[in-house]
């Protein structure tokens, strides 16, 4: 099975947390690492986007957003009726799983690099597109027929929250400047990318180790959900990618994107828009379970799935 | 430069509320406020300040008793149910 | 939402003691605590907070007089001789 | 270990003044001080602590009433006109 | 007109501020970025300096410092008598415009790189020399016949304030170690320079966006000053560079240096030495107006001016 | 004599401290730099280790640990009976000198790079091994016949304290991933290593300048100890390296390792395990005196010693 050494840094961080080491990544360093990763991914996407006529991507984009919207719409009733969770919690968790994780996506990209598989570079645009609708859907699910929503505040949070803002901003700069214009920045944003990702995963391991406990309290149902939901979403992604005639690499990345759950943009947005939802539940599931599941087991499985459908379809 | 008796209201709450609460506080008539970072534990669990939106802030407002009461009442009714929140007041002498 | 008279115990001490003191404080019955970073000078010299294990922390506990006394006594007997430590209490009104 | 009544003087001011004020405070006879970072708003506008020399600090001094008065008077006459500055005192019981 | 993609990061930051995004660069990261930029510029200058006999630079240095001293001496009466500003504010703003901005200078250098124009590397030495006299002049202007100045404190702040200290320190290390000795550090200080500059500009945009408002309060006069003063200074710089027989690139850089206004060293020094001056005015003008004017419009204009005078003179 | 430009950054930092410049490296940046250095050194060691059968290293490791244990056992009686220091202080200082300094070691490695001397890469493993026993010995020396020790807490601090944890963690990741697996991380962890070391030395200079004062209070004895002890330890290291048939480079590095004194792991461990020891004494000696002595004079001397013994022995 495909193995990517960078995930060992996640293990190192998680072990530090579980063994109660005093290792800590200062908050400001964590902020800097995430600004770096978001900008770098955005720039890369923008440079790729500049190589394609945007019109061609409109149909793909629409299909992907609509398919992606299915994820929270499936997750919500599962959580609410199978899991007997409160309306707010179900909606908030559904929003987390409908939204996406940039770091999971990045681990997917490094795996493709290692496997020497090409992918449609403009897929990064969909990373930006997919982050938003799930958050809006989550709020609608929580509030439908239940009083008013401060939509202004929420939409502002969704569009100008730093994670989407930096991704989109990097995309625009990369698009405007093009590969040549960005080239002097390559040494920082592209050459160091994987090393920075390693440090980020170290921190993710540290944080995830404190979240697993929170998850344990809420029982088996949520843990199962945190493993089965991404497999379902990845399947949806594989089928969508295949329908859209993506390469194996592109199909795999779309599956990874669908399977990933947000733990940066979604928690902040939900805390403001659906404050009665318990953040320990949603972050515990997405960061404590789904994230490690995805980077260790999910990603190799999704690559296998993408290869399978292309082998069958070809 | 006579010392004036005043109240110091200290609010310990979640960092995500910063902008919202400051708007409320200024709207209720405060002439200023001070914010600093904190972490801690209470009935809403441990807040380590390590993870996005995971930290606490301390908001301090020096004002007269009526202002402090207005702020306490507003925060109590609007935010206490859903957010980690601790508020206490203390008598101080303003020395400016 | 009646204001309750309480004590606010403030502890200024070395950052290395954080985990140890929190254990003690919770064990003695506190319902919560708040921590923030600080630096300063006292009888144990300047602590700039710049170098590994070189900073101060401020630990605050809101509780009744008995709890604060228990904490003060424990810290006094266990840590005062060897560590930089300043403790003071102040009357506050809890507003939750 | 008897609790001694003391004053806690809290000074909220601009970070650029740190070294200068500490010199003054020690010169006036304080046995120690504690500093922490803050941001806030007052009559001199918003101070976000984001930009070089743009932050606030909180200086705290525990001492007797006379010391606190001396410090307040010195700061009042020397710095209040030109700098953002808020000072207040509060009765505390020293527990060391 | 010459366009340098790195300034797009300033736009991204400024837009984040104006659109009230929650994007923030932590203070400690800002500190680290500025330490990096100051050291890197200093090292580069020192390596260049080692290639020239220092004696040759003495005359150039003297001329440049004297011409540079004209800037605050012109700015002060303009502000005081045309602008009707207080003596303290006039002096403080004059000091900001007489001093220089390392980031503006760096954007100038990257433009030369893009245009493939050489420049006199030892010009970086003058960056260090120009930062100081204006601050001293500013205090004299504020205090002349007006009571005493704590000169000790001020001069200490000027010479050992971190921005001049790091520039000068880097210069000395670069000079002592030479290009070969510095070479193992190139991968950090030189290869990553432009990427770090991009991140720094992002932060500058964020901060500048909060300063424009402050400026608006103080009306049209200051805004005009913030645009016309750098053009005047740049003209002085172009003439000086041409007189000293600099290359086109060197002439342009000297113009950029003269035109740039300080927003790091000067605010800190003025807050201590002339505390009754309102810092919102001087920082609002230098950072809120002059800095963006310089990097977007000024720098291309100054390059055009440098080319013009050399075409005419040759 | 061999000269390594990177130590000039230490001078720059120390001068800033002594001249009371306002230059500061934010605490979180210091943390990030040290995490980087520890991980990078660990990874490098792990990659080297993967090239050797571990069995071969067992005997070397045992000899080195046993010889290393002599250092605190010699230092303690010297401090206690010659220096008339308290039992706790003697034990704590002995532990600092028995333990090691990663930064001193790194400066040694960069000197070897400059001198183009090879060394046994797996020596980095001994860096990890040597950090621990001295701390345990220090506590035994302080507590022998003097009441109980909280061994659980101490051993946890020793093994899971961040500095040993990151070194060991990097070692394992480097070992598991191997040179090929780590290669995409090289651009961050190896190419930038020396530049980051320069920044770290800048900070070390800043801190050391504040420690020399503390040392001055405690007189000539401790200052002499801080210079003579590393020479003694280095001699022990040279002999050990020579006995073990190390190359000149390896012998020199072992001497540097023995001569270096801890100022990160040891202070934290001693503050918890021997709190009645005065930390100003031990950190003042190790960081204020021994560290600068080692990087400026010691390291060239140890290289000379290593060459001498190999010239004599060959
Ligand atoms: N008894 C207490 N003493 C000091 N701080 C407290 C106490 N209880 C709560 N806090 C602080 O208030 C925040 C919110 O409290 P809670 O709403 O109880 O979770 C906590 O994260 C602590 O920082
Ligand atoms: N008089 C004082 N006023 C304010 N803070 C103090 C005072 N004395 C000590 N401190 C704080 O308490 C810490 C420990 O004090 P000490 O044990 O006296 O070294 C110092 O580092 C200061 O942060
Ligand atoms: N009413 C207030 N309550 C709490 N903090 C205040 C208040 N007024 C001013 N401050 C703090 O004191 C600093 C200086 O105040 P000022 O001199 O009014 O600008 C502000 O930046 C705030 O941090
Ligand atoms: Na998803
Ligand atoms: Na200028
Ligand atoms: Na040693």
- With 0-12 / 13-18 / 19 or more C-beta atoms within 10 angstroms meaning exposed / middle / buried, residue F194 is buried
Q: What is the pLDDT of residue F314?
A: 47
Nearest to A27 among B14, B49, B83 (CB): B49
Contacts E268 to D, Cβ<8 Å: 16, 52-53
| Cα(B14) to centroid(ligand 1), Å | 10
* A2 has a pLDDT exceeding 70: no
What percentage of residues in chain F have a pLDDT greater than 70? 96
Contacts E162 to F, Cβ<8 Å: 16, 21-24
Average pLDDT value for chain B: 89
Q: What is the pLDDT of residue D34?
A: 97
* E313 has a pLDDT exceeding 60: no
* E156 has a pLDDT exceeding 90: no
Q: What is the pLDDT of residue F156?
A: 83
Q: Is the CB of B74 under 6 A from ligand 1?
A: no
Q: Is the CB of D85 under 6 A from ligand 3?
A: yes
Q: Is the CB of B47 under 6 A from ligand 1?
A: yes
Mean pLDDT (whole number) for F208-222: 78
Average pLDDT value for chain F: 90
- d(CA A54, CA D68) in angstroms, rounded, equals 68
Number of structural domains in chain B:
1
Closest of A129, A241, A251, A124 to residue A193, by C-alpha? A124
- Tell me how far apart the terminal alpha carbons of chain E are, to the nearest angstrom: 23
Do A206 and A292 form a contact (C-beta atoms < 8 A)? no
pLDDT in tens, F99-144: 999 999 999 999 998 899 999 888 888 888 888 889 889 989 988 7
Closest of E269, E288, E164 to residue E216, by C-alpha? E288
Domain map (residue ranges) of chain E? 27-312
Nearest to D53 among E24, E267, E280 (CB): E267
| Cα(E216) to centroid(ligand 1), Å | 42
Chains B+D touching (3+ CB pairs under 8 Å): yes
Instruction: Report the 10 Å Cβ neighbour count for E145.
Output: 4
How far does the CA of residue F278 sit from the closest CA of chain C (Å)? Answer: 9
Instruction: Select the highest-mean-pLDDT range: E230-239, F256-265, F274-283.
Output: E230-239
Q: Is the CB of B5 under 6 A from ligand 1?
A: no
Q: What is the pLDDT of residue E27?
A: 87
Mean pLDDT (whole number) for F206-229: 84
- Give the confidence band of C52 by pLDDT, cuts at 50, 70, 90: very low
Residue B44 CA: nearest ligand 1 atom is 19
Mean pLDDT (whole number) for A265-279: 85
* E3 has a pLDDT exceeding 70: no
Shortest-distance ligand to the CA of residue E74: 5
* E146 has a pLDDT exceeding 80: no
Q: What is the pLDDT of residue E314?
A: 47
* C69 has a pLDDT exceeding 50: yes
Using DSSP, state whether C28 is helix, strand or coil. Answer: coil
* D50 has a pLDDT exceeding 60: no
Copy the structure tokens of residue A180.
Answer: 């040549």
* D20: closest chain E residue by CA: E272
* C48 has a pLDDT exceeding 80: no
* F33: closest chain E residue by CA: E32
| C8:B88 CB<8 A | yes
The torsion angle over the Cα atoms of residues E271, F203, A195 and A25, rounded to 10 degrees, is: -80
- d(CA E307, CA E147) in angstroms, rounded, equals 47
- In sequence order, the β-bridge partners of residue B34 are B60, D40
- d(CA C58, CA C73) in angstroms, rounded, equals 18
Q: What is the pLDDT of residue A314?
A: 47
**Hunting for tokens 């254990």 — which residue is that?**
C23
Q: Which residues constitute the domain of residue B89?
A: 3-95
pLDDT in tens, E275-287: 889 888 898 899 8
Closest of F29, B51, A160, A157 to residue E27, by C-alpha? F29
* DSSP string computed for A5-59: TTHHHHHHHHHHHHTT------HHHHHHHHHHHHHHHHHHHHHHHTTS-HHHHHH
| B16:A24 CB<8 A | no
| Cα(E285) to centroid(ligand 5), Å | 13
Instruction: Report the 10 Å Cβ neighbour count for C4.
Output: 12
Q: What is the pLDDT of residue B48?
A: 62
Q: What is the pLDDT of residue E157?
A: 77
| D1:C85 CB<8 A | no
Q: Is the CB of D31 under 6 A from ligand 2?
A: yes
Q: Is the CB of B57 under 6 A from ligand 1?
A: no
Mean pLDDT (whole number) for B28-45: 91
- d(CA C90, CA D7) in angstroms, rounded, equals 10
Q: What is the pLDDT of residue E217?
A: 67
Mutate to test the interface with E, among D20, D52, D57, D81 (most CBs of E within 10 A): D52
Q: What is the pLDDT of residue D58?
A: 97
Mean pLDDT (whole number) for F275-301: 92
Helices (runs of H) and strands (runs of E) counted in chain C: 2, 5
- Give the confidence band of A54 by pLDDT, cuts at 50, 70, 90: confident
- d(CA E157, CA E140) in angstroms, rounded, equals 15
Could you tell me which residue, A159 or A179, shows the higher pLDDT? A179
CB-based contacts of F277: which residues, under 8 Å, 6+ apart?
F86, F88, F89, F91, F92, F93, F142, F270
Closest of E203, E229, E210 to residue E280, by C-alpha? E210
The torsion angle over the Cα atoms of residues B72, B75, B80 and B85, rounded to 10 degrees, is: -70
Using DSSP, state whether B2 is helix, strand or coil. Answer: coil
Beta strands in chain C (DSSP E): 4-14, 33-42, 45-47, 56-63, 85-94
Copy the structure tokens of residue E24.
Answer: 């923030």
Q: What is the pLDDT of residue F92?
A: 95
* D23 has a pLDDT exceeding 90: yes
Copy the structure tokens of residue A306.
Answer: 């993408």
Q: What is the pLDDT of residue C23?
A: 94
Q: Is the CB of B83 under 6 A from ligand 3?
A: no
Could you tell me which residue, F272 or A47, shows the higher pLDDT? A47
Q: Lowest mean pLDDT of D31-45, E143-157, F60-74, F259-273, name the range.
A: E143-157
| Cα(A88) to centroid(ligand 4), Å | 19
| F5:E173 CB<8 A | yes
Shortest-distance ligand to the CA of residue D17: 3
* C43 has a pLDDT exceeding 80: yes
Q: What is the pLDDT of residue B54?
A: 64
Length of chain F: 314
Copy the structure tokens of residue A176.
Answer: 């405007």
| C59 lies within 8 A of chain B by CB | no
| Cα(E143) to centroid(ligand 5), Å | 21
- Give the confidence band of E147 by pLDDT, cuts at 50, 70, 90: low
Beta strands in D1-96 (DSSP E): 4-14, 33-42, 45-47, 56-63, 85-94
The torsion angle over the Cα atoms of residues F13, F17, F19 and F22, rounded to 10 degrees, is: 90
Mutate to test the interface with A, among F42, F153, F171, F185 (most CBs of A within 10 A): F185
**Hunting for tokens 């770290």 — which residue is that?**
F200
F5 DSSP assignment = T
**Hunting for tokens 């809403």 — which residue is that?**
B44
Residue C84 CA: nearest ligand 2 atom is 17
Closest of D11, D7, D5 to residue D60, by C-alpha? D11
- Give the confidence band of C1 by pLDDT, cuts at 50, 70, 90: low
Q: What is the pLDDT of residue B52?
A: 47
Mean pLDDT (whole number) for E193-201: 93
**Hunting for tokens 């002592």 — which residue is that?**
E176
* DSSP string computed for chain E: ----GGGHHHHHHHHHHHTT------HHHHHHHHHHHHHHHHHHHHHHHTTS-HHHHHHHHHHHHHHHHHHHHHHHHIIIIIS---HHHHHHHHHHHHS--HHHHHHHHHHHHHHT----TTHHHHHHHHHTHHHHHHHHHHHTTSS---HHHHHHHHHHSHHHHHHHHHHHHHHHHHHHHHGGGHHHHTTTHHHHHHHHHHHHHHHHHHHHHHHHHTHHHHHHHHHHHHHHHHHHHHHHHHHTT--HHHHHHHHHHHH---SSHHHHHHHHHSTTS-HHHHHIIIIIIIHHHIIIIIHHHHHHHHHHHHHHH-
- Give the confidence band of E153 by pLDDT, cuts at 50, 70, 90: confident
- Fold of the domain built from segment(s) A27-312: Na+/H+ antiporter like fold (1.20.1530)
Length of chain A: 314
* E167 has a pLDDT exceeding 60: yes
Nearest to D53 among E210, E271, E280 (CB): E271
pLDDT in tens, E97-130: 999 999 999 999 999 988 999 998 888 888 888 8
Contacts B32 to D, Cβ<8 Å: 40-43, 86
Q: Is the CB of D56 under 6 A from ligand 3?
A: yes
| E191:A189 CB<8 A | no
Q: What is the pLDDT of residue F195?
A: 95
CA angle A162, A163, A168 (to 5 degrees): 95
Could you tell me which residue, E250 or F288, shows the higher pLDDT? E250
Do A15 and A206 form a contact (C-beta atoms < 8 A)? no
Q: Is the CB of C86 under 6 A from ligand 2?
A: yes
Q: What is the pLDDT of residue C79?
A: 92
How far does the CA of residue F194 sit from the closest CA of chain E (Å)? Answer: 6
CB-based contacts of A314: which residues, under 8 Å, 6+ apart?
none
User: Residues 44 to 63 of D: which have CB under 8 A from any E CB?
Assistant: 45, 48-53, 55
| B50:A275 CB<8 A | no
| Cα(A177) to centroid(ligand 5), Å | 30
Shortest-distance ligand to the CA of residue E261: 5
- d(CA E100, CA E264) in angstroms, rounded, equals 9
Q: Lowest mean pLDDT of A106-120, A210-224, C34-48, name the range.
A: A210-224
pLDDT in tens, A146-177: 767 777 877 887 788 888 899 899 999 999 99
Mutate to test the interface with D, among C42, C45, C60, C67 (most CBs of D within 10 A): C42
Domain containing residue B83: CATH number: 3.30.70.120
| B19 lies within 8 A of chain D by CB | no
Closest of A21, A1, A190 to residue A106, by C-alpha? A190
Q: What is the pLDDT of residue E49?
A: 87
Mean pLDDT (whole number) for A64-74: 95
- Read off φ and ψ for residue E24, nearest 5 degrees: -140, 140
Do D14 and D39 form a contact (C-beta atoms < 8 A)? no
| B50:A271 CB<8 A | no
- d(CA C71, CA C78) in angstroms, rounded, equals 11
| Cα(D5) to centroid(ligand 3), Å | 27
Copy the structure tokens of residue A307.
Answer: 């290869």
Q: What is the pLDDT of residue A266?
A: 86
Of the residues C35, C42, C58, C82, which should be mutated to test ligand 2's pocket, given the most ligand atoms within 8 Å of the CB?
C42
pLDDT in tens, A188-223: 999 999 999 999 999 989 988 887 776 676 678 999
Buried b (16+ CB within 10 A) or exposed e, F279-307: bbbbbbbbbbbbbbbbbbebbebbbebbe
């Amino acid at each position: 099975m495909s193995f990517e050494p960078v995930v060992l840094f996640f293990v190192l961080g998680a072990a530090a947390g579980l063994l109660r080491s005093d290792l800590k990544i200062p908050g400001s360093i964590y902020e800097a690492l995430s600004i770096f990763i978001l900008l770098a991914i955005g720039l890369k996407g923008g440079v790729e986007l500049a190589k394609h006529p945007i019109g061609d991507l409109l149909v793909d984009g629409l299909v992907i957003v609509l398919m992606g919207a299915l994820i929270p719409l499936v997750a919500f009733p599962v959580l609410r009726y199978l899991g007997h969770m409160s309306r707010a919690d179900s909606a908030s968790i559904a929003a987390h799983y409908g939204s996406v994780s940039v770091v999971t996506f990045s681990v997917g990209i490094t795996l493709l690099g290692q496997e020497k598989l090409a992918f449609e570079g403009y897929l990064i645009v969909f990373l930006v597109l997919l982050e938003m609708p799930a958050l809006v859907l989550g709020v609608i699910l929580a509030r439908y027929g239940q009083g008013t929503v401060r939509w202004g505040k929420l939409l502002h949070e969704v569009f100008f929250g730093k994670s989407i803002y930096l991704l989109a901003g990097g995309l625009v700069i990369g698009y405007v400047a093009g590969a040549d214009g960005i080239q002097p920045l390559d040494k920082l944003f592209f050459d160091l990318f994987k090393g920075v990702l390693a440090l980020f995963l170290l921190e993710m391991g540290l944080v995830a180790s404190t979240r697993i406990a929170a998850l344990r309290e809420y029982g088996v149902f949520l843990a199962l959900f945190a493993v089965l939901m991404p497999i379902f979403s990845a399947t949806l992604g594989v089928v969508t990618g295949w329908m859209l005639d993506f390469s194996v690499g592109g199909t795999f990345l779309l599956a990874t994107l669908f399977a990933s759950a947000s733990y940066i943009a979604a928690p902040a947005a939900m805390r403001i828009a659906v404050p009665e939802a318990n953040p320990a539940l949603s972050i515990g599931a997405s960061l404590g379970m789904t994230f490690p599941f995805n980077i260790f087991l999910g990603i190799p499985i999704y690559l296998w799935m993408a290869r399978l459908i292309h082998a069958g379809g070809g | 430069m006579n010392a004036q008796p005043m109240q110091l209201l200290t609010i310990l709450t979640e960092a995500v509320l910063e902008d919202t609460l400051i708007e409320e506080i200024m709207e209720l008539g405060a002439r200023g406020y001070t914010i600093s970072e904190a972490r801690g534990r209470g009935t809403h669990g441990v807040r380590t300040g390590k993870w996005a939106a995971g930290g606490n802030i301390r908001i301090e407002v020096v004002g007269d008793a009526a202002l402090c009461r207005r702020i306490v009442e507003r925060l109590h009714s609007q935010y206490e149910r859903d957010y980690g929140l601790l508020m206490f007041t203390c008598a101080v002498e303003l020395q400016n």
